Amino acid sequence: MIIEPLSVDRIGQVIDLMGTGAPYITPRTYSDYWLYATLFSATCPVAVAENTIAGAIIAFRSQDDPADIYLQDVITHPGHRRRGVTRLLLETVRAQGKKWGCRRLFLTSDPGNITAHATWTTLGFTNVPGDHVMNGISVVTDYKGPGRSRAVYESPV
Ligand SMILES: CC(C)(COP(=O)(O)OP(=O)(O)OC[C@H]1O[C@@H](n2cnc3c(N)ncnc32)[C@H](O)[C@@H]1OP(=O)(O)O)[C@@H](O)C(=O)NCCC(=O)NCCS
């Protein structure tokens, strides 16, 4: 397994990978991934196994608070799950965050995504206390706007 920064050459493969993430992840446009590959590749690692993409993290350092890195999309191909791909990709983002002196990684998840909850709590994230609890997961109502309640997770870099 090789971890490499997202490149323009891989965009088609990454879009296909994101298509396997339903219902929690849907592919963004080619132009979005061009932007990530061209301006944010240091925090957008992809895992490559035999020239196919096994997983990816799309993350960004905040310009509003440069101590923060937000993980926008995290996905492992169904054929590669539970083999430590996300763990490995996350280490890459953490290492970059440490180099930059960042202090926090954070992300949001659909409150119904039990697998994501298990993943984030195992990988050192705290489920930030919200205003209600669903299936044992703390949720912030309308975190991303009306009707967009989310579980929020954070970890020190
Ligand atoms: C969530 C997801 C990214 C995890 O990726 P992964 O590469 O399989 O995760 P890892 O193998 O690195 O797992 C790390 C730890 O998370 C936990 N974990 C991961 N998947 C789990 C599952 N299905 N059930 C219970 N625990 C799980 C385990 O503790 C695991 O460590 P272990 O295997 O040593 O016990 C993957 O399931 C996925 O792509 N899901 C669809 C898209 C999605 O929901 N993304 C997250 C949006 S917030």
| Mean pLDDT of the region 19-31 | 97
**Nearest alpha-carbon partner for 43 in 96, 109, 7:** 96
In the numeric block, which tokens belong to residue 81?
Answer: 């799950």
Per-residue pLDDT of 56-65, as tens digits, reads 999 999 999 9
pLDDT at 7 over 90: yes
The reported pTM is: 0.97
- Compute the distance from residue 40 Cα to the ligand 1 centre, in Å: 24
pLDDT (0 to 100) of residue 51: 87
What residues have CB less than 8 Å from 25, skipping those under 6 apart?
A: 18, 73, 75
- Return the closest-CA partner of residue 14 out of 46, 50, 49: 46
d(CA 44, CA 72): 10
- Residue of 72, 75, 115 to mutate, ligand 1, most atoms within 8 A of C-beta: 115
Residue with tokens 């926090």: 104
Express each pLDDT in 41-94 by its tens digit.
Answer: 999 999 999 989 999 999 999 999 999 999 999 999 999 999 999 999 999 999
What type of residue is 13?
Answer: Q
